[in-house]
Amino acid sequence: MKDYSLENSIELINSEKTKEYFREVTSSYFNGNYRASIVTLYSVVINDILIKLEVLDEIYSDTIAKDILNEIRTFQQANTNSPDWEKDIIEKVKNRTSLIDNVDYAHILALKNDRHLCAHPVLDKDDKLYTPNKETVASHIRNMLESLFLKPPILSKKILSTILVDIANKKELLIDDESLEKYIKAKYLNNLNPTVEVSIFRDLWKFIYRIDNQDVEENRLINYRVLYFLYKRNTSLCIQKIKSEQEYFSNVRNSEHTINFLIRFLSENEFLYSEFREDIHLLITKHIEKDISAKTVAWFLSESFLKHLKQVKEWISGNYNQTIPFDASVFAYQRLLKVGLAKGYIKEVTEFIIWRYSEAKNYSDADKVFAYIVRPYLDKFTEEQITELCKKANRNSQVYGRKRADEDHKELRKYIEININEAFEFSKYNNVFE
């Protein structure tokens, strides 16, 4: 039993109340009170089933769970002293829910039979009450942990459909990742263990990368955000799952949106690119030939991130007017720079931003560059880089002559005074700071 790490298993029990009651079982077991351990264990099983049904009813609005609870309440009211409802609840849960399967059911029945022998005297035997041996009790305890106590109240396929409907209805409210992650964690993930979360990650994958219908298309972005949150919470387990099921995860629909979302995923996990089949590599390669935003993000196809960043500058310099308007690639820029910062290339990323702002080709372009990649990353600039930004911006009338320049550069000035150097020589850059 110690090899199984009973102590560690206790901490993984989903219900705090079950965890509290289960300690009584283990206390009896370790003190050699095996009969008491079996009797108490069975009571904890019935209680845990009730707790799971209540969670399904109250949190997930599960009508089947609600019906079973109502049926039990009605029976108890009509038969105050009858314990028959305990037998009924096991049968109802087995036949009408996904909480237990046939193996779990067999384990619970075996425990129930031993509990009956432990709790009820037998007249024609010298030992009126049955006393199980240590090994039998250990087996029952482990079986109940695996069959019931360690399981969440709702399993992956059931909870996935619940999550998908829920977030689709609330996507106008859950507009940023922080609010979405807090919501999903509080309502769903606190009741799940990592194994189930990874199972949800696997099942959710097909809604982003495989299925293509109007409902899926409308919710693909928020579904992806949930998928990536699950990945961040269980990164090593999800990587293991992807590597062990290459065929499943490589089954990606060849459409613009699905390939873009795959590029987005791989841009932050480039080491997984090799885990996908060669035909997926070909789809990505062909896609970026016609989608410059995707090409900007797909740095994992280059020799290194820094070489890719250099290539992006060359594309912008050579093809700006034909193929790379900033408003079409704004999110691609943001994702690429986010990856660079995560990899520690702060200097290189901020130098790229300085170059990009100073090379703005028109007023609209400068407006967008400041809003989307200068303002969000000001806290990454050194004083020397701020000086370089001002110096180069001061030479480009498309940067300082636009209508929004006055407001943007007042904001820049305030940031410099507060965070960089209040004695900064603004007068040197009279076009930027009029």
**86 domain-assigned:** yes
Number of structural domains (the chain) is 1
Question: For position 282, what pLDDT does the model report?
Answer: 97
**What is the torsion angle, in degrees rounded to the nearest 10, for the CA atoms of residue 333, residue 338, residue 341 and residue 345?**
-30
Residue 328 has pLDDT above 70, yes or no: no
180 within domain boundaries? no
Q: Is residue 402 domain-resident?
A: no
pLDDT at 1 over 70: no
Q: What local confidence, expressed as pLDDT, does residue 123 receive?
A: 52
Q: Percentage of the chain surpassing pLDDT 70?
A: 93
Closest CA to 275 of 238, 303, 309: 238
pLDDT in tens, 335-377: 999 999 999 999 999 999 999 999 888 898 899 999 999 999 9
Each residue's pLDDT tens digit, 226-239: 999 999 999 999 99
pLDDT at 407 over 70: yes
With respect to residue 427, please indicate whether it lies within any of the assigned structural domains: no
pLDDT at 323: 41
Instruction: Decide which of 420 and 80 is more confident.
Output: 420
Cβ(293)–Cβ(264) below 8 Å:
no
Q: How confident is the model at residue 3 (pLDDT cuts 50, 70, 90)?
A: very low
| Alpha-carbon distances, residue 107 vs 22, 154, 203, 284, 313 (angstroms) | 17, 20, 28, 49, 64
pLDDT tens for each residue of 257-284: 999 999 999 999 999 999 999 999 999 9
Residue 198 has pLDDT above 60, yes or no: yes
- 247 by DSSP, 3-state: which? helix
Q: Which domain holds residue 10?
A: 6-149
Query: How far apart, in whole angstroms, are the C-alpha atoms of residue 246 and residue 225?
Result: 22
User: Residue 122: left (phi > 0), alpha (psi -120 to 50), or beta?
Assistant: beta
Mean pLDDT score, 389-404? 95
CA dist 338 and 346 (Å) reads: 10
Q: Is residue 142 part of a domain?
A: yes
Residue 299: inside a domain: no
Selected residue with higher pLDDT from 126 and 151: 151
- 49 part of a folded domain: yes
Please determine, for residue 110, whether its predicted confidence score (pLDDT) is greater than 80: yes
Has residue 17 been placed in a domain?
A: yes
User: What pLDDT, in 10s, does the model give residues 40-68?
Assistant: 999 999 999 999 999 888 877 788 889 99
- 305 and 339 Cβ atoms separated by less than 8 Å: yes
